[in-house]
Amino acid sequence: MSDRKTKASSPATRGEPLRLKVLDAAERLLRQGKAEFSMRDLAAEAGVSFATPFNQFGGKAAIMHALSGRRIDTMEARYAAARPAGDAADRVLLAIDIAAAVMLEEPEVNRAVMAWIGSPGPASGEVLARSTALWALALGDAGGSATTPGPAELRGLSEMLAFGFRGVLSFWTAGELPNGALGDRAREMACALLGQRR
């Protein structure tokens, strides 16, 4: 009996590792073309009880928001690894290129995630805040030169870039924008917001 209690309370079977197991299973189902998977399907794919995805996330919308967060984490990590230089516009365009590339790595999976986070759910996610933070990172710290927004402008422009990129993604998600045009249209949007021609 004490063995069972030890197993049940083991950190390897609860908390973050369990959440990651559920998210990994959701991604596998999406890769198999099963965007309409049920929570029962998800639990079976993850090898957990039916209640576990609900207990960890609350519902499918929250799982899709978490998958969106994974994409933003990947974008941020790749952006940081690129060691961006140049002015704010150069850094934002690099972030755009990275973000578009991440979305195009698994277009069907990412379209399914985007479609879900664009749907109303019982609770709002943190996609806007996470996306705004990505663009704030790109606008960065270059200290108020003529081509870099000052602190007062940073939040507003970061949020506008988040809105703009999400707008481009929404047309891509709906199939109105082909894969090959995603990066170019996102760059055009960013240049318009930055008031530059490139």
Residue 93 and residue 187 in one domain? yes
- Whether 191 shows a pLDDT value over 90: the answer reads yes
Last residue of a domain, one of 11, 29, 58: 58
What pLDDT score was predicted for residue 57?
A: 92
Mean pLDDT of 47-71: 94
* Model confidence pLDDT, tens digit, residues 11-21: 444 578 999 99
Mean pLDDT of 34-60: 95
What interhelical angle do 151-173 and 127-139 show, nearest 10? 120
What pLDDT score was predicted for residue 154?
A: 63
Residue 140 and residue 169 in one domain? yes
Residue 149 and residue 186 in one domain? yes
Residue 78 and residue 140 in one domain? yes
Residue 118 and residue 89 in one domain? yes
Backbone angles phi, psi at 104, to 5 degrees: -85, -10
What pLDDT score was predicted for residue 1?
A: 40
**Structural domain that includes position 173:** 61-198
Mean pLDDT of 70-97: 94
